[in-house]
Structure 1
Amino acid sequence: MVSLFRCPVCASPLTRGEEAYTCPNRHSFDIAKEGYVHLLPANRKHSKAPGDDKEMAAARSRFLSGGYYSHLRAALEELALAHTGEDPAVVDSGCGEGYYTAGLHEALSAAGRRATMAGVDISKFCLRWAAKRTRQVEFAVASAYRLPVADGRANLLLNCFSPLAAEEFYRVLAPGGVFLYVVPAPDHLWELKEVLYDKPYRNPEEAIPYQGFTYLDIVKVERDIDVEGRALADLFRMTPYFWKTPREGAERLAKLDTLTVRASFRVHVFRRNG
């Protein structure tokens, strides 16, 4: 099977076999039992287990599988259909546990598109969930700043709440390729912030142009969601607030059985210039 991935050592194309990815220069990368491959060289790791930890990955998988952010997934599926052809190559940079990656593949396949898809994340714990979620997409541990994808290989690139590497995204996108950049809207999870912090702040509303890209649109995606029980704890665990919240705020949240919050996003749509 020909892969979207390239060798992180010599940049040659990788071929996926039964148990490993290999390149013409005989570099080999074992496929984990869950189905993902590790393409992050040891000299580029900044910690023993970079990215989201095991508990955070599990919390995100449970929460997203509950459909709370299904409105965002539906919006991304619609945009993917609008901006790809019959045989698109799609890369999800910072794919996490694969909820949106799987959604895009399902939507493209249902529309008769023959999509080739890859998801990349720096957390092996996230990719364990992602590779189980869909077997139709290949997943690799790698950095968004050094994507293991050849120049101009992708037609669509998704970046959802993940590090923005504009120069690298420009490199892997083909001329005319589209980049979907998802960020939290100013009022995203505002009600949760009101519980956690004495003086909550709103996210900035920004429209930042990036060299080599043309702005096509900013799509608003929002709705109120009722979050109860374990899902509320999972929502807290999967956000950056989990590491920043004072003990008093976390205790206030733990006393709640349910909370209605605004799940509000902006999808910035860019086209790579030729």
Structure 2
Amino acid sequence: NNQRMGCAASKAAAATSSEADLKALAGLSDLDKAKLSAALEGPAKNGKKIILAHGWYPRHPWGEEKWHVSLQKHLESKGCTCVPDMKPAENVAPPEAHIKAFADLVGEVDENTYFVAFSMGNHVTMRFLQTLAEKKIKIGGYIAVGCWMEPRGWKYEPEEAAKSFTALTNWKDLDKEKLNAVVPKMMMLIGKKDPVVFANTEIGQTKNIENWKSVFGDKVEVQMFDFIKDAQDDGEKKGPEWDQVPAYLFRDHLVFIDLDKEHLDVIDKFVGLP
């Protein structure tokens, strides 16, 4: 009996609470109701779809690239729909398998679709974008982060993955005409002394920019930052396969950093966000 009485009392209290909530809602103005609805539902979708492609598989698993995660949260807070590249093909797979896996993830593409690719992910992205030319599809734009056309030449991967890596990074095989038919605007977001670019010098980065412009021409917008300006060399090395590059330098390759307002503002402007 006591349990039944307690249950009935709880139901009565819940009903009273619901009635009070309904009365409170009824007293709200239309504007306040709209604000409440927006707060509950999150930011209104703006129709923009952002594809986030991470680096060489499996060297940069999703979540390790902090800037990627922070960028996704930022874009979603502004109403964008983000599609993170979380299920890549195996790093030993042939190029076609990488492109197929990426295409399956991306889905439908139109002029409100933007691609943000990191490092090796740019080579998969560009080869996928080429395939859209035959369908006469144009995207909104393409941002290449920590991007390079020619790696520095140290041993990136185990021998069994070298064939796939070499095939995907043979940038001189890219079809410039197809790429430019699909990509209306393109931006490089890069570090001045990125250790993956030539001799990690500003001169090396200048050559890197020239290579990208040889593919995309004058539509390339370059945003170059000094991501390691406040970093200290703690003496940590990445190991012989990374050519004994100090770990702190990899901040200029944007591997372990969050993007700050300066960088996010550049991306917002490119994508057309307020």
TM-score norm. by structure 1 comes to 0.38
TM-score norm. by structure 2 comes to 0.38
The structure in which a higher percent of residues are helix is 2
For the pair shown, the structure with the greater C-alpha radius of gyration is: 2
